[in-house]
Structure 1
Amino acid sequence: MSELDWRVVYTRRDLPRPQTADPLIDTLWDLDEWLDKHSISNGRPFLISPDGRYDTDLNRFFDTVLNTSPVDTQRAYASDLKLWLTFLWVSRGRKDWRDATPEDRAAYKQWRTTDPRGPHVDWTTWDREVATVNQFYIWAASPKRRLVEENPILQRENRAPEHHRRGRSTTPAEASHQGAAKDVKWLTPRMYRMWRDVGLRGYTPEGLPDPSFRGRFASRNATYADLMIRTGLRLCEQTSLSVFEVPSEVPGTLNARTWIPHVIAKYGSARHIYIPSSALKEVWEYMEMERLDAIDYAREQGLYERVRNPLVIADRRRPLVTVDGRRLTVDQLGHEERQRLFIDTPDGLEPAALWLSESGMPSGRSCWQQVFKTANGRCGRHGVRDTAHPHKLRHSYAVITLEQLWRGHIQELAALNPGQRQTYQMVFGDPLNWVRMRLGHRSTVTTQRYLHTLQELAMETRLALIPDSWEPTGVHPTDLTEPTPSQEDIA
């Protein structure tokens, strides 16, 4: 990071107290109390200028518009705004964001996308960045605030369908509209198993144990990834699961249903999810082995006694805690509260969080992002081309599930007359809407991107069936295209 860059800093509790006898510092230093009083959670971003200034007007954006947004969304907005502010500081003579003009924005676009000295970001990245800065200036220019005279982002009429506009009549004119919005990256089950076994479990591509593998908690990491690709949960949602959201194993049940409460579901998208019995079995094995080992270690080290303001459940059969004088159930507790949620047991305190680090403390999103990064690096060293990240596993769940549901749906409808088909649709519903609910999407418009992927997959399969006589002698169509996943591979 250059000394001329704006900085993104995050709120954090339990910071060490400065070693000073200054009584003023002692008076002002109870930052934890101040954060609690203003209901500011850990990890809230704010921006600091290169000369060390804290701009109150600028940072109020995170306290108002983004106050209830997921942590990952807040971090993404802070990162995009930092790039814009740094450009104004470095390349436009330390210009204040309040004075930015359309000419500044045009210069920024040229530097980000086409300037030989610039980063040459792809159009998808640029569209996200311009949308972030545009939303910030819409907020700053609103009649309630009037922090700027004009929005430097040129606008045009929003031509998107009305149900997809989210209430906006205009959209950034400088957006490229060329980003690969429908290009969904996903893995077939066969590709996923190779990535998981090599990257997380420490096997070679040939399926043999790799003696050089030094990873710990390999079984935990593989179980976490298996649950994600089989349920479509987001990273923030799965990481915040508690043991109370893990259903019991029932012999003969193929899929166990559980509830994702709105306080940990992104955008409040509370919903039921279905956990396949094989994935649920792995979760329980992790809970009864690696998780208990981590808890024993933490107890021996006295780590749980050091947690500030723990929320303790006295009876796990009645998971209730008291917060600010209110009796709350676990499904009313958000991400931060779940990090300090414990269960009082005869053996001592135990975290209510399902996913624990090696030290026995609740794991965070950054922990799992590092797990995926390490696994991708290991796969690369072993010649495995496929990579994965949490959202790619979510895409994989959506594409595979939708394909399977549509295949069965169409087979059932094929033998019915129009009247019977209508009744069938009324009883069993629409596969697209079912997947929408499992993913927590607000509208099927978002889920429809996966239909585009299925259409591409079907067309690629048909292209591979072009008669040999259409090609030069000795050349087969499959020699000219990338391998296409077969129906057996998807199933």
Structure 2
Amino acid sequence: MHLFSVDAALVQRYLVSDVLSGAEAAALLERRAISDGTPIYLDDESMMPIEPLNSWARSMSYADLEASTMRDYGRILTRVDRHQAKRGSDLLGATESDLVAYRKLRTELQRKPIGGSAWTKESGLIDQFYGYLVDEKHLVRRPVRLAARGRNALSPRVRMGMDIRHMTFEQFRYFRDVGFGGELMNTHVNRSFRGSAPHRNRAAADLALGSGTRWREWATVLLPELGIGDQGADYGAEFTVQACAKYGKSRTVYVPSDAVDSVETYCLLERQEIAQAAAKTLGRKHRDLFVVTRIADGQVRGVLDGVEHEYEMSAMDADLRRITVREGEFGLEALTVFICRGGLMPGADSWKRYRHAAWRRMQDLRDETTPPLPRKRWRWHDLRHTYALQMLTYLENQMDGEEPDPAARRRRHRSYLTGHIRYNPLLIVSRRLGHSSPETTYAYLQYTDDLVNEFEAAFKGWVGDDDATYAQIAAHAMRAARQPAEVG
């Protein structure tokens, strides 16, 4: 079985057929509401569509899932199919023992077994797939029996909580300045440093921590959203994130002035040189790019595939942002803040590579002055966790001072819930993080009693190179909370 995925833009540009033109095929996909990323399963020999797999894939497209999510789901089902082929069967002929064997392979026997959260995703999809087959009468019953309390043989053995990993001040500075910035522990330049774009990567760390956003949100941010060059150093930036947010949930993101300053430093010292070197390459690719001609009032207007389009910036997804460019001093220039040598936004694999390289430098340069490093490698998402914990702790202390007694702190949270809901630190942080439920944010409370409480003020001196304090983030959040709630 071969796996492909839908990409309407590629079809329109490159499909050559006597039966159907690329434009006609793209129009048909749009008419049928088949989204990009929808898996396509073809037979190994005949290259004909395989049913009911493609019908199931179409149902996912109608569920309005993200393209990356559907590609992941397509790969999961392909792995199960290959496992079944080795056992002389197929997906429709799977038995409970087949799927239990697959679970054991993935979680125990393969060279690098997957963890509980990854298996939760796979088992959930497998269960959903066979539920679809039963609903559509392709199977009489699911291959895996339902046991007590709704569990089955594919369910994870342990219910996984949030894997909250955060940094202390010293750890963050070591991560940012030594790992990314090419410095030594004494703040001197490391002459043996061979990393690329240190100012970009340091700015990324500052932006991720200062805004508390997810990777998909801060890595795709546009220059106009941060107001780079349009505002003074005393002002932060505020913009709406939606298409790049988890579940497409709209919220306002606030970036303090120190983080904006860090990004501006990168733009002045490094970004311009990268953009200049890549201008000719982008010029040759202009037909495949969204060339912006006007930016105003949170909207961009430009030409894509020879057609003029206008978008709200908040409604632009990551794929569109990646190909968005404008005419700059040296030619076409990406509109995203962060760019790589090709002139466009770095992808997930690139940011992962930068992070892994930083971790290796951190390990190589560690000595007796180095802050304790965790057993596991840092993740970009750890900066979001750090933001949440620092912010929550700071807001608590602003409400009624520091409280050394853990039991008293827990009582304090219960009293918050009975007070005015907009002033509750837990709910303020929940809104800032874009959590679907305050219950998710509540998981952070068990971590507010460790090293993060030793600092007098949240984020003091973390972002930027001055002794600025991130109390401005808390002040901004409290001002927003005091504003009258919108009606409707």
Range into which the TM-score falls when normalised by the shorter chain: 0.7 to 0.9
1:224 positional shift: 0.9
The counterpart of 2:212, out of the listed 222, 232, 239, is 232
> Who is 2:176 aligned against?
196
> Who is 1:34 aligned against?
25
Cα distance change on mapping 1:47 and 1:397 into 2, 3 Å: farther
Q: How does 1:329-408 map to 2 (within 5 A)?
A: 329-344=312-327, 348-383=331-366, 385-386=373-374, 387-408=377-398
The counterpart of 1:89, out of the listed 77, 85, 103, is 85
> Who is 2:70 aligned against?
74
Does residue 140 (structure 1) correspond to residue 133 (structure 2)? The answer is yes
- How many Å separate the matches in 1 of 2:456 and 2:117? 30
Aligned AA (2:347): G
**Which secondary structure state, in structure 2, belongs to the residue aligned with residue 358 of structure 1?**
coil
> Who is 1:155 aligned against?
146
TM-superposition CA deviations, 1:429-469 (whole Å, max 9, x none):
22222222122221112222212333xxx3xx5xxxxxxxx
Does residue 128 (structure 1) correspond to residue 116 (structure 2)? The answer is no
> Who is 1:212 aligned against?
192
**Which secondary structure state, in structure 2, belongs to the residue aligned with residue 181 of structure 1?**
coil
The counterpart of 1:487, out of the listed 419, 444, 454, is 454
1:352 positional shift: 2.0
Q: How does 1:279-358 map to 2 (within 5 A)?
A: 279-299=259-279, 301-317=280-296, 319-321=299-301, 327-344=310-327, 348-358=331-341
> Who is 1:443 aligned against?
437
Cα distance change on mapping 1:371 and 1:345 into 2, 3 Å: closer
Does residue 103 (structure 1) correspond to residue 103 (structure 2)? The answer is no
Aligned AA (1:80): I
- How many Å separate the matches in 1 of 2:108 and 2:122? 15
- How many Å separate the matches in 2 of 1:422 and 1:361? 46
Cα distance change on mapping 1:283 and 1:176 into 2, 3 Å: same
Whether the 8 Å contact between 2:282 and 2:332 is mirrored in structure 1 is: no
1:295 positional shift: 2.2
Cα distance change on mapping 1:229 and 1:258 into 2, 3 Å: same
Whether the 8 Å contact between 2:389 and 2:452 is mirrored in structure 1 is: no
Aligned AA (1:340): I
Whether the 8 Å contact between 1:183 and 1:453 is mirrored in structure 2 is: no
Cα distance change on mapping 1:327 and 1:205 into 2, 3 Å: closer
For structure 1, the residue ranges without an aligned partner over 5 or more in a row are: 1-5, 19-23, 159-169, 462-483
Cα distance change on mapping 1:422 and 1:58 into 2, 3 Å: closer
Aligned AA (2:193): F
1:28 positional shift: 6.5
For structure 2, the residue ranges without an aligned partner over 5 or more in a row are: 459-488
| Range that drifts further, 360-369 or 263-272 | 360-369
Whether the 8 Å contact between 1:200 and 1:218 is mirrored in structure 2 is: yes
- How many Å separate the matches in 1 of 2:380 and 2:417? 38
- How many Å separate the matches in 2 of 1:9 and 1:377? 35
CA RMSD of aligned residues (A): 3.8
1:279 positional shift: 0.7
Cα distance change on mapping 1:251 and 1:46 into 2, 3 Å: same
**Which secondary structure state, in structure 2, belongs to the residue aligned with residue 313 of structure 1?**
strand
1:171 positional shift: 5.6
- How many Å separate the matches in 1 of 2:224 and 2:314? 9
- How many Å separate the matches in 2 of 1:152 and 1:29? 40
> Who is 2:165 aligned against?
185
TM norm structure 2: 0.75
Whether the 8 Å contact between 1:321 and 1:329 is mirrored in structure 2 is: no
Cα distance change on mapping 1:121 and 1:342 into 2, 3 Å: closer
**Which secondary structure state, in structure 2, belongs to the residue aligned with residue 98 of structure 1?**
coil
TM norm structure 1: 0.74
**Which secondary structure state, in structure 2, belongs to the residue aligned with residue 448 of structure 1?**
helix
1:156 positional shift: 5.1
**Which secondary structure state, in structure 2, belongs to the residue aligned with residue 104 of structure 1?**
helix
1:281 positional shift: 0.5
- How many Å separate the matches in 2 of 1:426 and 1:210? 52
Aligned AA (2:195): G
> Who is 1:481 aligned against?
none
Aligned AA (2:341): E
TM-superposition CA deviations, 1:336-381 (whole Å, max 9, x none):
2223323345764332222211232233233212222222233233
Cα distance change on mapping 1:47 and 1:438 into 2, 3 Å: farther
In percent, how many aligned pairs have the same letter?
A: 23
Whether the 8 Å contact between 1:249 and 1:280 is mirrored in structure 2 is: no
Cα distance change on mapping 1:36 and 1:394 into 2, 3 Å: farther
Whether the 8 Å contact between 1:233 and 1:439 is mirrored in structure 2 is: yes
> Who is 2:426 aligned against?
432
